[in-house]
Amino acid sequence: AQSVTQLGSHVSVSEGALVLLRCNYSSSVPPYLFWYVQYPNQGLQLLLKYTSAATLVKGINGFEAEFKKSETSFHLTKPSAHMSDAAEYFCAVSDGGATNKLIFGTGTLLAVQP
Amino acid sequence: GAVVSQHPSWVICKSGTSVKIECRSLDFQATTMFWYRQFPKQSLMLMATSNEGSKATYEQGVEKDKFLINHASLTLSTLTVTSAHPEDSSFYICSARDAGGSGELFFGEGSRLTVL
């Protein structure tokens, strides 16, 4: 079975500060890993994904994540937070197989202070 | 990018009635669609996998008779909440997999159901 754990349900940073959202995964097969962002009352938007290619993945809006197998982690970072980054962020894992089901973490609400 | 549209975006109904939510892939074909449920300030819980032309596969604990899923075409899946009760109030989100492209999943905007 696959699962993801997001440490910290709430993270608050100042505008311009580093954003670090943590995600650890558990998978018995090589995982496919994803980060999604959700704005209030909206669906999910894909930020970036890891599918066994480069371990450092760059996504949209200046976000990136690094796959570390030894640490079973896929933390999301952004060098400088913007007010518009305030949203809920979800880490997700799939086995990349035929069903391609996504299993989501519990989410991290990012607040950006002016 | 590809677009997945859900309708209605919000609906209020009386207890005991049934509500249908549509999920459409607008510019791609989706042999597989997924239905998620999200409670306030919580994560998305996978309810079922919908495959075009066959029965949906439900996750453990999800009542198939309560949440009817139909995937009659490559661009449309529907979720019907039958005999809705207040505890069914939630945000329902669908996603569709692009069968012809990268296999990437695209998400709808979600449908908020409130049962009075």
| Averaged pLDDT score across all residues of chain A | 91
- Kindly state the tokens that stand for A3: 């699962």
> What is the per-residue pLDDT across A55-110, written as a single tens digit (0 to 9) for each?
999 999 999 999 999 999 999 999 999 999 999 999 999 876 655 788 899 999 99
Task: Give CA–CA dist A36/A40, Å, rounded.
Answer: 13
Contacts for B79 with CB less than 8 Å, ≥ 6 apart: B20, B21, B23, B35, B47, B67, B68, B69, B92, B94
Q: Identify the pLDDT of residue B37.
A: 95
> What is the per-residue pLDDT across B56-102, written as a single tens digit (0 to 9) for each?
999 999 999 999 999 989 999 999 999 999 999 999 999 998 877 66
Say whether B75 sits in a helix, a strand or coil: coil
Q: Which of B6, B105, B108 sits opposite A102 (nearest CB)?
A: B105
Mean pLDDT calculated for residue range B2-7: 90
Task: Give CA–CA dist A90/A92, Å, rounded.
Answer: 6
Say whether B49 sits in a helix, a strand or coil: strand
> Looking at the complex, does the CB of residue B3 fall below 8 Å from at least one CB of chain A?
no
Chain A residues closer than 8 Å to B93 by CB = 43-44
Mean pLDDT calculated for residue range B45-65: 91
- A107/B43 Cβ within 8 A: yes
Q: Identify the pLDDT of residue B90.
A: 94
pLDDT above 70 covers what percent of chain B? 97
String of DSSP letters for A5-39:
E-S-SEEEEETTS-EEE--EEE-SS--EEEEEEE-
| Averaged pLDDT score across all residues of chain B | 91
Task: Give CA–CA dist A10/B108, Å, rounded.
Answer: 25
